[in-house]
Amino acid sequence: MIFYATQRFVLSVVIVMVAVSILTLMLHVVPGDPAVMILGPRATPELIEQTRVAMGLDQPLPVQIVTFFGNILRGDLGQDVFTGRAVSQIVFEQLPYTLILITVSILWAAVLGIALGCYSALRRNTWLDTLTGVISVGTISIPSFVMALYSVLLFAVWLRWLPAIGAGEGVWDGVTHLILPSFAIGVSWVGYVARIVRASMLEVMGQPHVRMARAYGLPDGWITRSHILKIAVQPAVTLIGTGVAHLFSAAVFVEVIFARPGIGALIVQAVNERNYPIVLGAVLVTTGIIVLATLISDLVIAWLDPRQREEL
Amino acid sequence: MTKQTNTKTPGIGRRAFLRGATATGIAAATMPLGSRIWAQSGKVLRVSSYADIDALDPGFYQNGYNVDVMNCIYSKLVRYVPGREWDWELEAAEEIEQVDDTHIRFKLKPGIMFTGGYGEMTAEDVKFSFERVLEHDSPVKSDWGPLDHVEVTGTYEGTIVLKEPFQPLWSITLPYGTGHIVSKKAVMEATESGGNFGMEPPAFSGPYILKEWKPNQYVHLVRNPEWTGEAPGFDEIRILPMDDTKTAERAYEAGDLDYTEITLSSLAQYRGNVPADTVIEEYPSLYYVWLGMNLDNPALGDENLRKAIQYAINAEQIIDAAYFGEAAPATGLIAPGLPGHRETPSVPVAGDLDKAREYLEAAGGPPSEPLTIDALNATVWKTMAEVIQAQLAQIGIQTQINVQDSGSFWTLGMESEGERWKDMQLVLNRFSMLPDPYYATSWFVTDQVGVWNWERFSSEEFDTLHQQALSETDGETRAEMYRKMQELMEASGAYKFITHEGTPVMYREGLEPALRPDGRPLFIDFKGDV
């Protein structure tokens, strides 16, 4: 297990380095001069050139990439070209908002999705199973930005039950500001998780160890929790682990629509402004989180399933 | 609901300014500082801004959204007067007078304090604030044009000395970004060299101070306890950055904002269904939108072809489609209300298809390959490009639309960005503007070819007029110069002016917003109840 975890960690570092290197290459291929964006239209060509040199943009691309990783080892992600603030400070200021948003979104979606999937599987081919299926497919097909727009119009503009924008201040205010965005992101995941858990449960319910447990007269609830759900939930855990990247993408739209702070909105803005240090710093951190989430989901599955644990 | 009014004034000349300034100065002087009561208390104003602040040093500012905050936290010698016509009034100055073409004498109001124990504002601070813009090679040093130095003649008195006359000083330098005064002592302590202090102002001198800035969340301004001038209308101002104006509209409707700009596309809808307790107003904008043609691209080398394009384009149809008919057509670069605005363009706003066909025939017919139209990747630009595409197709000119993100688009015609400018043919462009015609024409001089002059228009007469107009003191002569410059641009066939857009805003009944004639907010002067 320790060897497996170490191996996965090294692989994760390589993935992050490759992702950031590719991104650096792409940033330099697309047109747009960050020095012009920073200094505005009235800067002299001499001042623009000085700024490019100060930013290291006059250096060959491989040198820029090596310098970037060298700085990371010293804990330096660079400086925001507009405000002069440390990139690490900006990124870690925004990151908690996105992490809280996607964590809450996926948590409520997973709890509801697992419950619905379970219920459907245990009552398969009933009208409630059909209804759950319709709801699941329906929520999967609604994009999160559409859900965000309509939920804000309904609950904030029309009913005025919840705030329309921002992240709020304090715990209670923060919670009220989180409800609509996390609903918008999580709702399609309810359907995904429910469908996967249902299919997986039906498969596990037909396996010999479950039939054996029933033959021994063990209680249904105990069989479901200990022998079915523990195995059936594994594909959903994998889905959630690999779906973190998708959640970050959904967060971009939702952060813009709800004018919430967050790393998604930060990256979009930085790309438009050609604010390279912010783009690189933010992508480095999000790539790291996505890789880490995948790693954690693999470890959780190994923990849930003794067969997989033994193979490690 | 107030309908849009396009004010038509010859602009504010030096004499008109001095008349107004003297009157305002007398009124201000008779009102002792420190004796004014706070207007209201316990009130919070919540407003939106189209972007988050990223520069708070007035000597090195970029973009209007930073100046909106600077207006509240620093003082200037003079400031814009809210209203429908461009005008200026005294702020930190008790008196200001242009004694000759290159000397402006000022006297500060006594008792304006810098926060943090940095003492009273003096003429030394004025000198430091203005001269550091040049000394530190600020990217906006052109705002100060030919400034030579500031001579300090007393604690509160000084003289701004120019190398040559510079008319925009009164319209865009003193009342705007680089006109703000910072504390010499505080800035020297914070930066050692007196350079850019970025996002950390070492001292404030306006009616508000910056209490907190939460990036991408809000800017929180509260009353300056050391402010001795006229009380501002609110205890606190919260400025919420929202890149998407539609988001701001929803936030307003949900009750999260008291004032916001709205999109032209939403204006008609709001007119038909005004939100509760809301006032909607429309202001003309200073922005200018045009279709440019790259004179150095071989496909557009024939002047007759360019004129055919100019005449084939109907700006009214474009405005109907892209702005839902809510913007006024442009007659040139310079918006109504500014010196040099033209009543009619040389090429009719609605174009003339017969004339377009004549020019096209003279050019030997349409180009064999489709022309490209470059535009930003937002709906309004794509719509405009599609309308232009259809209009040009009417005379047989085929086009292909290239949409690009803002980072790519805004370097399209720059020679420093490689060879892309050579392939650029037609480009839909939009520039922002400050309230002096010089700011518009300065991008189209020969020196700007390959920088911001993407049409690569070059005219010796235009360059000469641009230079002469900077120092022309007679208002009407100066206005005529700018009208002539716009004629030269149009005659080149490289420009079809489309619109100045517009600035619709909405706010709660009871609020008395203070807006410039172009609809930009002056939060410092907002009053009323929300």
Q: Please count the residues of chain A.
A: 312
Does A312 map to a domain? no
Q: How confident is the model at residue A312 (pLDDT cuts 50, 70, 90)?
A: low
Domain boundary, last residue among A54, A87, A120? A87
Does A176 map to a domain? yes
Question: Which DSSP string corresponds to B265-300?
Answer: HHHHHHHHSPPTTEEEEEEE---EEEEEE-TTSGGG
List pLDDT tens digits, range B366-408: 999 999 999 999 899 999 999 999 999 999 999 999 999 888 8
As a whole number of angstroms, the distance between CA B338 and CA B7 comes to 9
Instruction: Give the three-state DSSP class for B238.
Output: strand
Pairing of strands B511-512, B399-404: unpaired
Higher local confidence (pLDDT), B32 or B380: B380
Does A216 map to a domain? yes
Q: Are A40 and B140 a contacting pair, CB within 8 Å?
A: yes
Does A8 map to a domain? yes
Q: How confident is the model at residue B33 (pLDDT cuts 50, 70, 90)?
A: very low
Least confident stretch, A65-69, B16-20, B203-207:
B16-20
Q: How confident is the model at residue A309 (pLDDT cuts 50, 70, 90)?
A: low
Does A311 map to a domain? no
User: Do A10 and A112 belong together in one domain?
Assistant: no
The conformation of residue B11, written as its DSSP 8-state character, comes to -
As a whole number of angstroms, the distance between CA B520 and CA B261 comes to 9
The conformation of residue B30, written as its DSSP 8-state character, comes to T
User: Do A54 and A80 belong together in one domain?
Assistant: yes
List pLDDT tens digits, range A221-276: 889 888 898 888 888 888 888 788 888 888 988 998 999 999 988 988 888 888 88
User: Do A71 and A131 belong together in one domain?
Assistant: no
User: Do A41 and A115 belong together in one domain?
Assistant: no
Q: Are B234 and B526 a contacting pair, CB within 8 Å?
A: yes
As a whole number of angstroms, the distance between CA B232 and CA B206 comes to 10
Residue A84 and residue B199: Cβ atoms within 8 Å?
yes
User: Do A164 and A77 belong together in one domain?
Assistant: no
Long-range contacts of B404-407 (CB under 8 A, 24+ apart): B404/A31, B404/B374, B404/B375, B404/B376, B404/B377, B405/A271, B405/A272, B405/B376, B405/B377, B406/A272, B406/A273, B406/B376, B406/B377, B407/A30, B407/A31, B407/A32, B407/A37, B407/A271, B407/A272, B407/A273, B407/A274
Share of chain A above pLDDT 70, in %: 97
Share of chain B above pLDDT 70, in %: 92
Residue B407 and residue A83: Cβ atoms within 8 Å?
no
User: Do A60 and A121 belong together in one domain?
Assistant: no
Domain boundary, last residue among A67, A87, A107? A87
Domain boundary, last residue among A55, A87, A119? A87
Average pLDDT of A7-31?
84
Exposure string (b/e) for B448-487, b if CB count within 10 Å is 16 or more? Answer: bbbbbbbbbbbbeebbebbeebbbbeebeebbbbbbbbbe
Q: Are B406 and B269 a contacting pair, CB within 8 Å?
A: no
List pLDDT tens digits, range B167-182: 999 999 999 999 999 9
CATH number for the domain including A197?
Answer: 1.10.3720.10
Does A114 map to a domain? yes
- Token output for B20: 């107004």
Higher local confidence (pLDDT), B331 or A14: B331
Q: Is the pLDDT of residue A307 over 80?
A: no
Q: Is the pLDDT of residue B37 over 70?
A: no
Q: pTM of the full predicted structure?
A: 0.85
Write the CB contacts of A244 (distance below 8 Å, at least 6 apart in sequence). Answer: A102, A289, A290, A293, A294
Which residue on chain A is closest to B439 by alpha carbon? A42
Q: How confident is the model at residue B42 (pLDDT cuts 50, 70, 90)?
A: low
pLDDT at B20: 40
Of B199, B214, B407, the CB nearest to A272: B407
- Token output for A100: 């809280």
* Residue A48 CB coordination number (10 Å): 19
Contacts of A45 in chain B (CB under 8 A): 416, 451
Contacts of A152 in chain B (CB under 8 A): 250, 254
User: Do A59 and A116 belong together in one domain?
Assistant: no
Average pLDDT of A52-71?
86
Least confident stretch, A86-95, A264-273, B78-87, B242-251:
A264-273
Of B139, B215, B240, the CB nearest to A47: B139
The ipTM is 0.81
Q: Are A94 and A286 a contacting pair, CB within 8 Å?
A: no
pLDDT at B530: 83
Q: Is the pLDDT of residue A116 over 80?
A: yes
pLDDT at B28: 40
CA distance A114 to chain B (A): 34
User: Do A38 and A115 belong together in one domain?
Assistant: no
Average pLDDT of A61-85?
87
Q: Is the pLDDT of residue B240 over 70?
A: yes
Exposure string (b/e) for A7-28, b if CB count within 10 Å is 16 or more? Answer: ebeeebeeebeebbbebbeebe
User: Do A176 and A264 belong together in one domain?
Assistant: yes
Measured in whole angstroms, the distance separating CA B389 from the mean position of its chain's CA atoms is 30
Residue B277 backbone phi and psi in degrees, to 5 = 50, 45
Q: How confident is the model at residue A308 (pLDDT cuts 50, 70, 90)?
A: low
Helix (H) or strand (E) holding B224: none
Q: Is the pLDDT of residue B336 over 80?
A: yes
List pLDDT tens digits, range A118-154: 999 999 989 989 998 998 888 888 888 899 999 999 9
User: Do A240 and A212 belong together in one domain?
Assistant: yes
User: Do A21 and A154 belong together in one domain?
Assistant: no
Segments forming the whole domain that contains residue A58? 2-87
Does A70 map to a domain? yes
Q: Is the pLDDT of residue A23 over 90?
A: no
Of B143, B414, B418, the CB nearest to A36: B414
Helix (H) or strand (E) holding B443: none
- CA angle B84/B237/B83 to nearest 5° reads 5
pLDDT at B129: 98
Half-sphere exposure (CA, 13 Å, Cβ side) for A112? 18
Q: For chain A, how many structural domains are there in total?
A: 2
Does A268 map to a domain? yes
User: Do A14 and A124 belong together in one domain?
Assistant: no
As a whole number of angstroms, the distance between CA A247 and CA A244 comes to 5
